Structure 1
Amino acid sequence: MPSNPGKSFYVTTPIFYVNDAPHIGHAYTEVAADVLARWHRQRGENSFLLTGTDEHGEKILRTAAANQSTPKVWADKLVEEAWLPLLETIDIDNQDFIRTTEPRHERNVQKFLQHLYDTGFIYRGSYEGNYCVGCEEYKTEADLIDGQGDFAGISVCAIHSKPVEKLQETNYFFKLSEFTQPLLDFYEANPKFIQPESARNEVVAFVRRGLEDLSISRSKEKFDWGIDIPWDESHITYVWFDALLNYITAIGYGEESAELQQKFADLWPASVQVVGKDILRFHAVIWPAMLMAAGLSPANQVFGHGWLLVGGEKMSKSKLTGIAPNQITDTFGSDAFRYYFMKAIAFGQDGSFSWEDLSARYQAELANGFGNLASRVIAMVHRYFDGVVPEEFGLEAVDLHVAEVAKAAAQNADAAIEAVAIQDALNSIWTLVDELNNYITVQEPWVLAKSPENKERLATVLNTTLEGLRVLAVLLNPFIPKATAKLWAALGDSVGELATQQIQNAGNWGQLTTGVTLGQLEALFPRIEAESETK
């Protein structure tokens, strides 16, 4: 594929509630979006990753009160002590972090609301329904299930397993019902807008049943933690209507400066919006309808990934199944965290986490498969060629096959990322890891080194394996950036900086400069003592 230096790739995560500290389910979403952003940046594109926090709404108000705090003080504390540190813990390279309490967000939410009100898409009306504080959403009867245990005999939210509250209010409404057909037409014209296919089918079926107008405000008589409705300050904005707008307020929507207006023009519509499947309807139904009403294009794609399961249940702090990311990274490191969750779970499907699987994959795939491969090859170059990259003396069929595997790995991985099939991308890359390990086993360079007449063949074998490691460093850089930085430093940086190596050129063979002295390789994935593997 050609380089696209002028092309933008804008990827977003959901903005996360600050009612509690993050668990590995949140981190899973962050890593997936970060891998996509890093990959497209490695393709030479202007890649922009947005993440952030959702800080308004009744749930935040109640959580703060339960902790003897105010909503803003509570939000500040959680952001500084938990959410921003998470990004460092799992090595996220985000270009912005939006908080819905920031002035740039609040003022432009009000501009958006005023525009929809002025153009007749918002009206005043009354509503009565079942409200789930956990979801910050009115629930239909179909969204409720029979409670268990303490809630037996009571209808509860299917997601939170807690009772809903019966609310009757006079609020402002968004004319969502007017977008039933426009949305169906949009889905048909843009079949990749909602992915995976199972998620698309669910949303289309939901919209076909017909949409109802959406309550988008709450009276301050109920609670006042939110953004004021600009034409009626006795009401605040419904938290989801506020939160969804972060994706455009963060990149310049509504701003007057030419620079921010250009930024918005360059980045919107977003390339991929990564969300959990439990919030898919907000992003695939309400959000595009909001944008259509404002005369803006919806995102190019909304991708609803599955849930992380622990013991067969969706990860949840309230159910005590939440695992803090640092419980993993303190032992295995951020690269292993990133690799495991992208490799072990097909993106878009539910996946189960277990310490045993993590430990096994770390040892077999990272430490032995990739890390040991790199250390053996570089050690042999130091031992047999004084650390200097040897030249090759005519490639045989087995050497050319390695080059073919490398080229196919790069092409297939790039195509997989384009389809947001992250696991498939890693599987494609790992074909080269396996090929190189097999190649070394068969070629036995340590045997070749025993006979001077095999010196040229030994040089060719080690040159071939070094080229393979170069390809792996480029392709794996979006996934395990700390390890690939170490490997690239050992390769001598003879092709330029790792960040400048473009994915689409990675599989082109013969890029290493011969005669360059390699550095020493720091252990990529050190051995972990058994007793600490599942601490």
Structure 2
Amino acid sequence: MKCRFESTMSAPKAFYITTPIYYVNDVPHIGHAYTTLACDVLARFKRLDGFDVKFLTGTDEHGQKVEKAAALAGVTPQQFTDRVSKNFFDLRETMNFSTDDFIRTTEPRHAAACQALWKRMEEKGHIYLGSYAGWYAVRDEAFYDEDELTAGPNGKKIAPTGAECEWVEEPSYFFRLSAWAEPLLEFYAAHPDFIAPASRRNEVVSFVKGGLRDLSISRTTFDWGVPVPGDEDHIMYVWLDALTNYITAVGYPDTENEQYKRYWPADLHVIGKDILRFHTVYWPAFLLAAGLPTPKRVFAHGWWTIEGQKMSKSLGNAVAPDHLVTTYGLDASRYFLLREVPFGNDGDFSHASIVHRTNGDLANDLGNLVQRVLSMIAKNCGGVVPTPGAFSDADKALLATAHGMLDRVRAEFDVLAFHKGLEAIWGLCGDANRYVDEQAPWTLRKTDPARMATVLYVLAEAIRHIGILVQPVMPEASIKILDQLALGPEARGFGALGPEGALAAGTALPAPSGVFPRYVEPEAAS
């Protein structure tokens, strides 16, 4: 069966989604996995919904912080970044991410894009040479005004992020950011959905209304970065370099190439709230100054704490993605991260919470539903999809909920309310479990076998919808579910949802097997 969107869409609509590129000064932790997971789920969802998706991630490899870390490790910056970038590259396999491109800012294609963007802004009069004297946080790769700083130990100046700042004086090129305050405010007003959630939008608007100062965009005191075109004594400010990755990956500066024309402007940048200002003030200002289209939306999510404590190196409590997957399972980890906390809010990771979700939502609610329904079909219907009779009002109600589920989930996922989309799917799961108990097919087997066949058919249809809809979040578990319904690849897209893609009576089904094992505490298992 062909998916319905194939017959109605000759050219699928493009959708370009990006993670931030991750700074290579550490190993990946749950925060990195969380951001990329959200993008992966939306990318998978859009592909199943008929979109032509480009999904980008990568690593940010320049700057003073990397240069210092490499020196401490006794290697060159390139050797250091090669090693650490691979950890983020390998995260894709660990978490089963479906990325289409992985960009590194040390690639030649990226240097060419950065220098082209610089020249374009310079030619339009938005860059000038001066000298910088002010406070700079190496850890953040960010400049701070005096009134943003607090006093720390030993007379150190501390940024709002907690990073130590140092006084820097050097020649510098500047971007005329001060000229962009009003144009940016007009831009935000004209594009109210550009920044999400609303609390972050309010934060940015307030910051810009306070006035903007020209931004230092080059450094001369170190050389690990992209050289400024025409003045190689300077290297570009790491954030101008880093932000450019989003257009590098679509072929910039060649704005006539097919990728650029198809995918830019990006539909969505997903970032952590700590880098909101760079993506919603600096980045649109750079692009507007260069006469280039801005991304359509930037969504800033919250931070994770671990068992109620902030993640930190000193506490040693960061959760590594490979540990997460090894301990709880891949799909359970993916489900928990997007189900537990509204995306955009801060959240707390705890062992008890993920075990509760794994054993409750997954093993009990969905896993048990699939197992008992398919086992009853195997035992009582000869292992084939049963032939339904006339549908009762209860049957029609459950099927109607299943048929309407895509619209509900799509509406939530489009605004990155993943927890609400999953709540809706689990609402269908709960309805199906109650329907099993109310209809009692094990009793009907003796009293009304034809009615039992109808009930089991309706349940199989509900499971089919759930299995298709959870694919973006739990790709491995959904394969197990859909395989047990004997559905081929062509019957797993969203175009197959609804009555048109209904299971064919008489289709032979494989022997049922468990989908979600319960989590058992190691001491209990021994």
TMscore range, shorter length = over 0.9
Distance 2:412 2:154 in 1: 46
Q: Does residue 134 of structure 2 align to residue 129 of structure 1?
A: yes
Give the alignment partner of residue 97 of structure 2, picking from 86, 92, 102.
92
- The residue correspondences of 1:273-288 to structure 2 (distance < 5 A) are 273-288=269-284
Alpha-carbon spacing, 1:43–1:442, altered in 2? closer, same or farther (3 Å): same
Q: Which amino acid aligns with 2:294?
A: P
Alpha-carbon spacing, 1:337–1:166, altered in 2? closer, same or farther (3 Å): same
C-alpha contact (below 8 Å) 1:473/1:487 kept by paired residues: yes
Shift of 1:142: 4.3
Distance 1:522 1:266 in 2: 43
1:92-144 deviation per Cα after TM superposition (whole angstroms, max 9, x unaligned):
00000000001111111111111111221111011211111111000123433
Distance 1:501 1:174 in 2: 46
Equivalent residue, structure 2, for 1:519: 510
Percent of paired sites with the same residue: 43
Q: Does residue 260 of structure 2 align to residue 290 of structure 1?
A: no
Q: 2:164 is paired with a residue of what secondary structure? A: coil
Distance 1:429 1:10 in 2: 26
Equivalent residue, structure 2, for 1:189: 190
Alpha-carbon spacing, 1:96–1:534, altered in 2? closer, same or farther (3 Å): farther
Equivalent residue, structure 1, for 2:454: 460
Give the alignment partner of residue 467 of structure 2, picking from 450, 453, 473.
473
Distance 2:36 2:244 in 1: 19
Alpha-carbon spacing, 1:125–1:195, altered in 2? closer, same or farther (3 Å): same
Q: Does residue 420 of structure 2 align to residue 429 of structure 1?
A: no
- The residue correspondences of 1:351-500 to structure 2 (distance < 5 A) are 351-451=347-447, 454-493=448-487, 496-500=489-493
Distance 1:402 1:287 in 2: 47
Distance 2:497 2:413 in 1: 15
Q: Which amino acid aligns with 1:497?
A: E
1:307-351 deviation per Cα after TM superposition (whole angstroms, max 9, x unaligned):
111244443335533110111100222111110010001001111
Equivalent residue, structure 1, for 2:143: 138
1:220-272 deviation per Cα after TM superposition (whole angstroms, max 9, x unaligned):
xx11100000110001011000000000001111138x6xx111111011111
Distance 1:141 1:367 in 2: 54
Distance 1:511 1:459 in 2: 15
CA RMSD, Structure 1 to Structure 2 (Å): 1.9
C-alpha contact (below 8 Å) 1:403/1:509 kept by paired residues: no
Q: Which runs of 4+ in 1 moved over 6 A?
A: 532-535
49-58 or 118-127: which moved more? 118-127
Equivalent residue, structure 2, for 1:69: 75
C-alpha contact (below 8 Å) 1:144/1:155 kept by paired residues: yes
Alpha-carbon spacing, 1:470–1:60, altered in 2? closer, same or farther (3 Å): same
Equivalent residue, structure 1, for 2:259: 263
Alpha-carbon spacing, 1:491–1:21, altered in 2? closer, same or farther (3 Å): same
C-alpha contact (below 8 Å) 2:15/2:266 kept by paired residues: yes
Q: 1:290 is paired with a residue of what secondary structure? A: helix
Shift of 1:280: 0.4
1:139-174 deviation per Cα after TM superposition (whole angstroms, max 9, x unaligned):
123433343xxx375431222x23211111110011
Equivalent residue, structure 1, for 2:122: 117
Q: Does residue 32 of structure 2 align to residue 36 of structure 1?
A: no
Distance 1:244 1:129 in 2: 23
Q: Which amino acid aligns with 1:51?
A: T
Aligned pairs, number:
520
Q: 2:204 is paired with a residue of what secondary structure? A: helix
Q: 2:446 is paired with a residue of what secondary structure? A: coil
Distance 2:525 2:320 in 1: 14
Alpha-carbon spacing, 1:475–1:210, altered in 2? closer, same or farther (3 Å): same
Q: Does residue 252 of structure 2 align to residue 253 of structure 1?
A: yes
Q: 2:129 is paired with a residue of what secondary structure? A: strand
Equivalent residue, structure 1, for 2:212: 211
Shift of 1:419: 1.5
Distance 2:151 2:514 in 1: 53
Q: 1:169 is paired with a residue of what secondary structure? A: strand
1:444-466 deviation per Cα after TM superposition (whole angstroms, max 9, x unaligned):
11121133xx1111110110011
Distance 2:523 2:313 in 1: 24
C-alpha contact (below 8 Å) 1:485/1:498 kept by paired residues: no
Distance 1:534 1:177 in 2: 63
Q: Which amino acid aligns with 1:196?
A: P
Q: 1:168 is paired with a residue of what secondary structure? A: strand
- The residue correspondences of 1:199-238 to structure 2 (distance < 5 A) are 199-219=200-220, 222-238=221-237
C-alpha contact (below 8 Å) 2:468/2:493 kept by paired residues: no
Give the alignment partner of residue 318 of structure 2, picking from 315, 322, 335.
322
Query: Normalising by the residue count of structure 2, what TM-score does the alignment of the two structures yield?
Result: 0.95
Distance 1:499 1:488 in 2: 8
Distance 1:430 1:190 in 2: 34
Distance 2:352 2:89 in 1: 29
Distance 2:419 2:491 in 1: 23
Q: 1:497 is paired with a residue of what secondary structure? A: helix
C-alpha contact (below 8 Å) 2:254/2:260 kept by paired residues: no
Distance 1:44 1:528 in 2: 35
Shift of 1:406: 1.4
Q: 2:331 is paired with a residue of what secondary structure? A: helix
Distance 1:350 1:9 in 2: 27
Distance 1:309 1:162 in 2: 19
Distance 1:153 1:143 in 2: 15
Equivalent residue, structure 2, for 1:156: 158
C-alpha contact (below 8 Å) 2:227/2:236 kept by paired residues: yes
1:255-308 deviation per Cα after TM superposition (whole angstroms, max 9, x unaligned):
38x6xx111111011111100000001000000011101111111100000111
Alpha-carbon spacing, 1:183–1:436, altered in 2? closer, same or farther (3 Å): same
1:344-389 deviation per Cα after TM superposition (whole angstroms, max 9, x unaligned):
0100111111011001110001111111111111111100011100
Distance 1:520 1:143 in 2: 64
Equivalent residue, structure 2, for 1:506: 497
Q: 2:15 is paired with a residue of what secondary structure? A: strand
C-alpha contact (below 8 Å) 1:356/1:534 kept by paired residues: no
Shift of 1:534: 12
Q: Which amino acid aligns with 2:145?
A: T
